[in-house]
Structures are given as C-alpha cells and as structure tokens.
Amino acid sequence: MPERADPTSATTDPALSMVVPAYNEAARLDAGFFRLTQAINAGAVNPDTTQFIVVDDGSTDETSARATDLYGALPNSLVIRLAQNRGKGAAIRAGVAAATGRAIAFADADMAIDPVQTPNFVAALQGHHLAIGSRAASGASVDRPSIRRSVMNRTFNRFVNTVTRLSLDDTQCGFKAFRGPVARLLFHCTTTERMAFDVELLVAARTFGLTISQIPVHWSRVQGSRVRSWSDGGSMVRDVLRARHALRDAPALNALPVTLRPDQSATDLEYLRALGAKVPVVHVRETDFIVLFPLMTDEQVASCVSAVSQRLDLGQPEPRRFSLRQVQDLAPLALSWDNSAITSSRA
C-alpha cells in the first residue's frame, strides 16, 4: 500500500483528496465516473487541485483495472488494492492514510450523492472540522426513493441517535468531508471496518469536541447497492452499540509535546499554525502544543519529529505515546489551523 510522504515537508499539497471505496464495482464505476466528469465540466471539482484515490476493497471482479482506466486519465490519481475484503470503513481508512490533500472527502463509487455539490462541503470546512451530507436536512432531495430503504434509513438513524446522542439527521450519507488532519485523527481512532464505521467516526468527533456541519444533498438511487437490509442491519446494530465506547479500543498515538521558549519568535507560532493544516496540532495553553501523528508508520513519525524539532530548535526529543483517552482529556481540542489552508477545489 502506498505511504504518504513526510506531511511536514514543504511540498505543495492538493486542495482536496477524494477517496472512493469500491468493492466489486467494475460494472458501476463508469456511471459514477460520468457523474464526476459532469461535476468537473461544471467547474465544481478542479482535477488539477484534487487528488483522486480509489480503494479496491479486495474485489473479485475487474474493479482495480477499470478504476485505473477511468481515473488514470485525471492528473492526480491513485488506485489502491487491498489484499482481501475488509469493509468500507477499512477501505476509506487506507485511502485517508495515503491522502495528501488539505481537505479529505469520501464518496461512494456510484456517486449517488451528486459530486457537483463538492464545493458546499469544502466551504463548510472553513468554519467546521468536518462536513457530512444529509438526505434529511432542509433543502435535501432524493430521486427515485425506495420506500423500504427510506424506512430502514430513518429507523436506523433514530436508533443511532437514541444510543449515541449524536443528534444528527443522517449519519450514513455516503459523502463526508474533513479538514485533512481531522480525517487522519478520526480514522486513526476508529476500529469499525464495515458499514457502521460512520457512527464510530462521528462519536469520536463529538468526544473530541469537534464541530460538524450538516450539508443538504441531492441523492439519486443507483441500482446495485451493497447494503443488504437484513444481514447488514444486524452487524450495523452491533457496531453502533460498540460505537458508544469510541476510543476504548483505538490504538495509541505518537505525539510530540512542544513548549515554545519566551524568546521564540512569532514565526514559530505561524509555523505551528501552518503545520496544523497538515497534521493535528493541539494548542494546550499559551506556549504549549502537542503535535499528533495519526495513521503514520514509525519511519514517517521519526521523519516528522526530526523536521519539527529542527525547525523549532527542540534538540533531539523522542516522540511519546498518547492513549486516545489522554487526547480526550484535552477536549474540546483546540486544533491549530491555518484558515487559508483549505481553498475551494473549484477552478
């Protein structure tokens, strides 16, 4: 699986990474790509500033080959193939780990959520940590609705809100966007790999005190959905019950505590602010920060620690291991953020 380069480097990152999970989607990728092409032609998605990552979740058909043919025509694309089918949550996590965008979104392979709405999500990230699509919010619309599917969605969402107290209109909508560091932190925290991963993700966001914007979407039903009402429903209920305890089973996180000296200049604060557009930087108190390194290999962590330490003249510190409970104790997380980091993905 491709690994991200050192995220603290000065390379120019794309404005947006769009992750597309796909399992046995060879027959439906063309229609979804056509909708994406329409959004590109309408100026809603700029292919020159967007990274497209298709994650083949262990398909048994020609999904990888078809994805390579279609998305390979775009300037910045990547196809990742998982060795075995692990679930939508696991596939998106793999895509987020490889993403380099200042913002990261994920969309279903069939593009049932019209990608022409992408700018609405990107714009919402200026004021919120994540933006989630909602088919139930005021202004949303649904074409060719399935009564059975609609009842199932409403019932499941009511159950989710009762169990988790998320108070969100639509936790399962297939289009969500995040500030890049937030996506990496939240996907590092989640252990659910299949359909209800969204719930654990959103519970973790609430636990950390992150802000969520709900974006009304236009959704069209596409034949061939991978959601199986009864068999998937049982596993999703179990995953929701587990999600109440988000962070309990999450892996520890490499971190670098940073305390700026009184003589350090304003440019060091600006550096940490800019760094916060690449990796999570928690502002603990006036001169104290914690730089987090989610979804990174040991080699990537060592490279990042070296780069930060050299820039801030910290000597040769060793990264520390933080449990997610320790990070939770800092909630609501005051994440340092360069507000110019996310610009519109439009041309």
* pLDDT at residue 118 in the model: 97
* pLDDT at residue 88 in the model: 95
Mean per-residue pLDDT of the chain: 89
Q: Are 179 and 98 in contact (CB under 8 A)?
A: no
Q: What are phi and psi of 110, to 5 degrees?
A: -85, -5
Which residue from 253, 254, 266, 252 is spatially nearest to 317, judged by alpha carbons? 254
**Tell me: the pLDDT tens digits for 43-101?**
999 999 999 999 999 999 999 999 999 999 999 999 999 999 999 999 999 999 999 99
The H or E element that residue 84 is part of is none
What residues have CB less than 8 Å from 289, skipping those under 6 apart?
A: 257, 258, 259, 260, 272, 281, 282, 283, 336
**pLDDT tier at 37, thresholds 50, 70, 90:** very high
More confident residue, 249 or 40: 40
Q: Are 87 and 307 in contact (CB under 8 A)?
A: no
C-alpha separations of 332 from 207, 250, 329 in Å = 8, 18, 8
Query: What DSSP letter does each residue of 129-175 carry, written as one string?
Result: SEEEEESSSTT-EEES--HHHHHHHHHHHHHHHHHH----S-TT-SE
Distance CA 182, CA 275 (A): 13
**Tell me: the pLDDT tens digits for 251-273?**
999 999 999 988 888 899 999 99
**pLDDT tier at 1, thresholds 50, 70, 90:** very low
Instruction: Return the residue matching tokens 């969402």.
Output: 157
* pLDDT at residue 169 in the model: 86
Strands (E) in 57-145, as ranges, are 77-81, 103-107, 130-134, 141-143
Count of helix runs (H) and strand runs (E) in the chain: 11, 13
**Tell me: the pLDDT tens digits for 279-295?**
999 999 989 999 999 99
**pLDDT tier at 347, thresholds 50, 70, 90:** very low
Q: Is the pLDDT of residue 229 over 80?
A: no
Which amino acid, residue 58?
Answer: G
Q: Are 254 and 321 in contact (CB under 8 A)?
A: yes
More confident residue, 238 or 30: 30
Q: What is the pTM of this model?
A: 0.90
C-alpha separations of 104 from 214, 231, 299 in Å = 16, 30, 23
* pLDDT at residue 167 in the model: 87
Distance CA 272, CA 290 (A): 10
Distance CA 71, CA 91 (A): 17
* pLDDT at residue 64 in the model: 98
For each of the domains in the chain, give its residue range(s) and CATH number, in order of start.
16-243 (3.90.550.10), 253-328 (3.30.70)
Q: What percent of the chain has pLDDT over 90?
A: 67
Distance CA 81, CA 90 (A): 12
Distance CA 237, CA 160 (A): 8
Q: Is the pLDDT of residue 343 over 60?
A: no
* pLDDT at residue 157 in the model: 79
**Tell me: the pLDDT tens digits for 129-186?**
999 999 888 888 887 656 666 677 778 878 888 888 898 989 989 999 999 999 999 9
